[in-house]
Amino acid sequence: MFDEDEKEQPHHGGQNPRPLRFRNWMRHTAMVPKGFIRYHVLEALNEKPMSGSELMEEIEKHSGGFWKPSPGSIYPLLAWLQDNGYVKELPQENGLKRYELAQNGKSLFEEQKKVRQKFREQAGFMPGQFFDNFMPNIPPEKLLEIRDTMKNFAQAMFRLGNSLRENYSEQAVNNALRVIDETSKKLESINQEIQK
C-alpha cells in the first residue's frame, strides 16, 4: 500500500512514523473516493475561473495538504467536462489556459452538492472497517460504541457546516471552536493518563 521509499523512512527522535505514512498514503489517487476530484474541480470553478495547475493547488489547500491531484487526473477530467459542456475554456492569459463553469456545470455542481450532503448525513464519519484498523485492540462492542459516537459527532459537524454556509454566524463559529478545543484537550489528557 505504501511506496518503498515511504517504508524506508527512518525513525526521527524515536517518533512513530505512522503519521507520515498516513499522510503519504492519503496523497495516492487510489485512496480518493469516486467523484471526489470532479466535485472539488466543480466547487473551485464555481468560485472563479482556474487553470489546471491552479485547480491542483486549490484542491491540495482545501484538503489541508493531505492530497494533491496529479496532472494525469486533472487534465483528462477537464477535457471530459469541456467535451460534455460543463466547462468552457477562456482565452489564454499569460500563456495560461483557464476554465470556467458553463450553465450545465453550475447545475451539475448543485446536484453534486445535494448528493454529497445526503451521503455525509447518512454515512457519517468513515467506513467501519477503515476506522477499526486504527483501534485493533479494543473489544468489538466498544468499537461499535466509539464508531457510533464519532458518526454522531461528524454528522453534527456537517450539519453545522451546512447551516453556516447558509447563515454565517461568528458567535456560532466561536462556540464550536471552543467546544472542539476543550474536547481535544480533554482527549489529550486521557491519552497522557494512559501513557503514564
The model's pLDDT over 88-147, given as tens digits with 9 standing for 90+, comes to 999 888 888 999 999 999 999 998 888 877 766 665 545 555 555 666 677 878 877 887
pLDDT for position 134 = 61
Whether the Cβ atoms of residue 20 and residue 65 lie closer than 8 Å to each other: no
Phi then psi for 51, rounded to 5 degrees? -90, 170
Q: Give the model confidence (pLDDT) of 175-186 as tens digits.
A: 999 999 999 999
The per-residue pLDDT for 42 is 93
The pLDDT value given to residue 162: 77
Taking all residues of the chain, what is their mean pLDDT, rounded to a whole number?
A: 77
- Helix, coil or strand: residue 175: helix
CB 82 within 8 A of CB 99: yes
Q: Which pLDDT score, from 0 to 100, does residue 34 have?
A: 53
Give the model's pLDDT for residue 189. 93
Tens digits of residue pLDDT in 141-153: 887 788 788 878 8
Q: Cell 491542483 identifies what position?
A: 56
Q: What was the pLDDT predicted at 2?
A: 34
